[in-house]
């Protein structure tokens, strides 16, 4: 989700296969294909409390060209009155269900029954047009909600419609920021779990990366690059 990488297809709907005009298959072949289609996994959004370290490092890396990073990870903190804090994360399993839209349409409304709510979302890339509309709609309907969206990369930021969508959620009251080292460390400590590996005896053990977050070499440089682009968009 980033500077125009064609491998990232966040906002494109899945293609529906068309039935061929002529069917040259035997009945057995046709039945086999029907069974295969029925066994495909459903479109869904995965929810949890902790992200595997390897997944976090790959999906949240703020590189300019994000080949293969075709899903969105969203880590959220919801704060309500009397010190109540709720945390979790969502990720896209397929392109038809985006983590941001699922969170703002299905998860967050469960916490809006009474009193003000403060929401912070750390997202691997900025929202597409549809997800931005869900965020703006949530803010318009719920005046006591404060939302801060902290993103690792900007999704297709050169597209005029995407730029307009980002300005739209900003004008609706969403605080939009790029992730910096401190944000990565916060997510690492609160939302990431060390990868489990097998030793020579086949026993599970934690990877040695269970300590503090170690930033990659160009993290701050890339963050500043995106920060300048975001300021340009919201100007």
| Residues catalogued as catalytic | 100
In angstroms, rounded to a whole number, what is the distance separating the alpha carbons of residues 225 and 219? 10
Q: Which residues contact 149 (CB under 8 A, 6 or more apart)?
A: 121, 123, 126, 127, 135, 169, 174, 175, 176, 177
Cα–Cα distance measured from residue 7 to residue 25, given in angstroms and rounded to the nearest whole number: 33
Neighbours of 154 (CB within 10 A): 23
Contact 189, 160 (CB under 8 A): no
Residues sharing a CB contact under 8 Å with residue 190, sequence separation 6 or more, in sequence order: 75, 77, 87
**Would you say the C-alpha torsion 200, 207, 217, 61 has a positive or negative sign?**
positive
């Amino acid at each position: 989700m980033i500077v125009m990488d064609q491998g990232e297809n966040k906002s494109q709907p899945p293609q529906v296969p068309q039935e061929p005009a002529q069917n040259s298959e035997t009945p057995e072949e046709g039945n086999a294909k029907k069974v295969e289609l029925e066994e495909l996994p459903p479109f869904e959004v995965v929810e949890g409390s902790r992200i595997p370290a390897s997944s976090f490092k790959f999906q949240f890396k703020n590189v300019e060209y994000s080949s293969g990073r075709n899903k969105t990870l969203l880590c959220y903190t919801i704060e309500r009155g009397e010190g109540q804090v709720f945390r979790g994360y969502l990720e896209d399993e397929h392109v038809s269900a985006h983590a941001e839209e699922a969170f703002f349409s299905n998860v967050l409304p469960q916490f809006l029954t009474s009193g003000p709510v403060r929401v912070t979302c750390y997202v691997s890339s900025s929202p597409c047009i549809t997800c931005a509309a869900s965020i703006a709609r949530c803010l318009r309907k719920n005046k006591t909600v404060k939302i801060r969206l902290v993103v690792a990369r900007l999704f297709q930021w050169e597209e005029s419609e995407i730029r307009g969508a980002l300005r739209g959620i900003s004008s609706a009251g969403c605080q939009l920021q790029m992730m910096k080292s401190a944000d990565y460390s916060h997510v690492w400590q609160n939302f990431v779990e060390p990868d489990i590996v097998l030793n020579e005896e086949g026993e599970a053990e934690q990877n040695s990366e269970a300590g503090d977050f170690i930033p990659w070499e160009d993290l701050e440089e890339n963050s500043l690059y995106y920060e300048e682009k975001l300021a340009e968009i919201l100007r």
